[in-house]
Amino acid sequence: MMTLDDSLLALGSCIAGTGILASGLLALLFRHPGAPRWTRPEIVPMLLCVPVTAMIGLGLGYTAYGLHQIVNGYGDPLGLLVLAAVLIVLALLWRGLRIRQRLNDYAATSDSGASGTPAAEPTLAAGEEPPARDRAAGLPGTLA
pLDDT the model gives residue 122: 57
pLDDT the model gives residue 117: 47
pLDDT the model gives residue 118: 46
Task: Say which amino acid occupies 9.
Answer: L
Report how far residue 16's alpha carbon sits from residue 110's, in angstroms, rounded to the nearest whole number.
Answer: 31
Is the separation of the CB atoms in 106 and 39 below 8 Å?
no
Could you list the pLDDT tens digit for every one of the 144 residues in the chain? Answer: 556 666 888 899 999 999 999 999 998 888 888 888 888 888 888 888 899 999 999 999 999 998 998 888 887 788 889 889 999 999 999 899 888 888 888 888 876 654 444 445 556 666 666 666 555 555 555 554
Q: How far is CA 73 from CA 1, 5, 70, 79, in A?
A: 15, 12, 5, 13
pLDDT the model gives residue 131: 62
Nearest-10 crossing angle of helices 43-71, 79-96: 150
CB count within 10 Å of CB 82 equals: 18
